[in-house]
Amino acid sequence: MEQGRLEEAEASFRHALGLDANNLGARLALTQVKKVEPGDENMAALVSEAGKLDTMLETKALPLHFALGKCYDDTKQYDLAFSHYLEGCRLKRKRIQYNPADNDKACENIRAFFSRETVDKLRGKACQSDLPIFILGMPRSGTTLTEQIIASHPLVYGGGELPDLLDLVNQPRAGQSAGYPRSLNGITREELKALGEKYVAGLRARNPEARRITDKMPANFNCVGLIHLMLPNAKIVHVKRNPVDTCLSGFSRLFNKSQHQSYDLAEIGRYCRNYALLMDHWRQVLPDGAFYELQYEELVADHENQARALLDYCGLEWDKACLESHKTERHIRTASVTQVRQPIYKTSVDRWRKYEKHLGPLLEALGDLVPAPGAEG
């Protein structure tokens, strides 16, 4: 599926079921290939399997709950869908270590380090490369779609979610502690330039020919100030989306790794508030135009004009391939792998309204981030 060959993937899963109708892994995977329709035979088999949940191992029950959640969501049975998402998240949450207070502290430390005075002091000597295009924001906010549009341009290589920047900043410097932003204490402009050059060298090693290379690690929103200081000519695209839709999308997804904040409604809302605080901070301490803000809802409602403006910001000539980005064949390893293989759709806008009665802890945690009726995120 990561290569975009969804029909082949579906055929492979169905072939596996033909060999063994009890192959639960194939049944679970089949739910992710496309929208589940009412009367779907695979869904019926999964519903039957759910009758064994009381005696099922949690490691087996966990992905089954998320698959059933998607089946019921696709078939507009939202109360049933939420009940399975909730139980799947409960099972996942008990298996991971995550303390939301740690994220609170990290957010506070980043804002404290990147004061306007520090930013002004460290600006001026940096790596001048314009190779990178950073695409960042909350997970499930539309970063994958945004990268797919940009990476459909013939001069661009889509790097995907690269750990490179976070790996760089989490390494201890001489005499300093490991971990961002502590690792930056006492950093000089010369050291920032060297960091930028090292990051660009890593990008270039991934593709020696591309004119631009994207890095769509969502969590790089923690590093916008750092990116601006070490790579002032890099493009930074911040993708925004209705916070409730964004958080619900994370809550209803079983991630392959990380995103530990996603398995509790109050915790993901708290994480989103910290993200919003950081983005507000970057707006205050960085100069106007330091990064570009793209609203997901506007992108899907007015696709061509928004895509043209996006490419213009990135310094790229318009190419019609960017208008049909779902046809671009490239390796995608994110939770949105199937969505970006489809033409632009609007059904994810205001999806949260279908679940509103269940979302009390999330809405309370988000507070004034919840958009007013008719407003965008």
Q: Is the pLDDT of residue 367 over 70?
A: yes
Domain presence at residue 285: yes
Same domain, 79 and 203: no
Q: Which residues pair with 214 in a beta bridge?
A: 133, 158
Task: Kindly state whether residue 1 falls inside one of the protein's structural domains.
Answer: no
One domain, residues 38 and 176 = no
Look-up: residue for tokens 């430390």? Answer: 109
Q: Looking at the predicted structure, is the pLDDT value of residue 330 above 50?
A: no
Within-domain flag for 374: no
In this structure, are residues 277 and 107 in contact, taking their beta carbons and an 8 Å threshold?
A: yes
Looking at the structure, do residues 108 and 248 belong to the same domain, yes or no? yes
If asked whether residues 209 and 332 sit together in one domain, one would say: yes
The answer as to whether 133 is a domain residue is yes
User: Does the pLDDT of residue 305 top 60, yes or no?
Assistant: yes
139 lies in a domain?
yes
Lookup result for tokens 């959640």: 69
pLDDT of amino acid 18: 76
For position 375, what pLDDT does the model report? 63
pLDDT digits (tens, 9 = 90+) for 143-163: 999 999 999 999 999 999 999
At 9 the pLDDT is 81
pLDDT at 50: 94
Averaged over 252-270, what is the pLDDT? 95
Residue range 236-245: mean pLDDT, rounded: 98
Q: What percent of the chain has pLDDT over 70?
A: 93
**Separation CA 166–CA 215 (nearest Å):** 11
pLDDT in tens, 27-84: 899 998 889 999 999 999 999 999 999 999 999 999 999 999 999 999 999 999 999 9
- Residue 157: what pLDDT? 97
For the CA atoms of 316, 320, 322, 325, what is the dihedral angle to 10 degrees? -160
Q: What is the pLDDT of residue 377?
A: 53
Least confident of 169-173, 310-314, 320-324, 334-338: 334-338
Asked if residue 376 belongs to a domain, the reply is: no
For residues 364 and 17, the model is more confident at: 364
Clarify whether residues 169 and 265 are in a common domain: yes
What CATH number should be reported for the domain holding residue 212?
Answer: 3.40.50.300
Looking at the structure, tell me whether residues 109 and 59 fall in a common domain.
Answer: no
Contact in structure between 238 and 279 (CB atoms under 8 Å): yes
Question: Does residue 187 have a pLDDT over 80?
Answer: yes
Structure confidence at residue 342 (pLDDT): 56
Q: Which residues pair with 237 in a beta bridge?
A: 135, 292
Domain that holds residue 346: 103-369
Tokens 């980005």 found at: 325
Q: What is the pLDDT of residue 341?
A: 45
pLDDT band, residue 13 (cuts 50/70/90): confident
Task: Check whether 1 has a pLDDT greater than 60.
Answer: no
What pLDDT, on the 0 to 100 scale, is given for residue 333? 52
| 3-class SS of residue 242 | coil
Q: Calculate the dihedral angle through the C-alpha atoms of 311, 317, 319, 324, rounding to the nearest 10 degrees.
A: 0
| Residue 347 forms part of a structural domain | yes
Domain boundary among 32, 63, 93: 93
Average pLDDT over residues 98-105: 97
- Are both 32 and 69 inside the same structural domain? yes
Give yes or no: residues 77 and 184 share one domain.
no
Q: Is a pLDDT exceeding 80 seen at residue 262?
A: yes
Mean pLDDT (whole number) for 4-27: 80
Q: Pick the last residue of a domain from 93, 126, 147.
A: 93
Per the model's pLDDT, the better-predicted residue between 9 and 205 turns out to be 205
Is 2's pLDDT higher than 70? no
**pLDDT value at position 201?**
98
Q: Are residues 89 and 211 in the same domain?
A: no
Mean pLDDT is lowest, of 197-201, 205-209, 347-351, for 347-351
Asked if residue 56 and residue 89 are part of one domain, the reply reads yes
Q: In what order do the strands lie in the sheet with 235-240?
A: 156-158, 212-215, 132-136, 235-240, 292-295
User: Average pLDDT, whole number, for the chain?
Assistant: 92
Of the candidates 93, 118, 150, which is a domain's last residue?
A: 93
Assigned domain for 256 exists: yes
Residues 18 and 116 in one domain: no
Residues 79 and 113 in one domain: no
- Average pLDDT (203-219) is 97
Domain count, the chain: 2
